[in-house]
Amino acid sequence: MSNPYDHPPAPAPARSGGINGLGLASLIVGIVALAVSWVPFIGLLGVVVGIVGVVLGILGIALQKYRGRRALAIAGTIVSGLAMVLSFILPWFTGAFWLLGVVEDSGVIERLETWTPTPRATDRFTDPAVTAPTGTGPDETPAPTESTPAVPTETITP
């Protein structure tokens, strides 16, 4: 009689290819860069983080040992590239809206809307009633005559 437990061992389960570590890192870094891109003034830091994510994603796509497992690397490269572009654009808009809110809350806009310039004394540049004296323009310079010499002739002696 044969032993029912005497049979060859079952084959080991097929080893899965594992996970693309660089692709996963690229995706995580891209998500962090995307989250940072919305923050006013420090969102530009997301450009640097996005560049790191794109480099990791490209390495995850290009390395031979990750052939066939590129989905995470492709997704990480796309998210990191999008985050890089948004990190360059969004901080300017969010910063501008933040600054506009600060200016509105301070009351500066209301003061500017109600401000009227005070009239100054007669100004020859803005008052049409005041005219420039004759003979002072470039075409109206009087020529020297005998009564008004061009160069003073008196000399002062000590």
Locate the domains of the chain by residue range: 21-113
Q: How far apart are CA 146 and CA 157, in angstroms?
A: 24
Residue 134 in 3-state DSSP?
A: coil
Per-residue model confidence as pLDDT tens for the chain (158 residues): 567 677 777 776 555 567 888 999 999 999 999 998 888 778 888 899 999 999 999 999 988 777 778 888 999 999 999 999 998 888 788 878 888 888 888 877 777 777 777 666 555 555 555 555 555 555 555 555 556 555 556 666 76
Tokens of 54: 């794109």
- In angstroms, the Cα distances linking 116 to 12, 119, 127 are 88, 9, 18
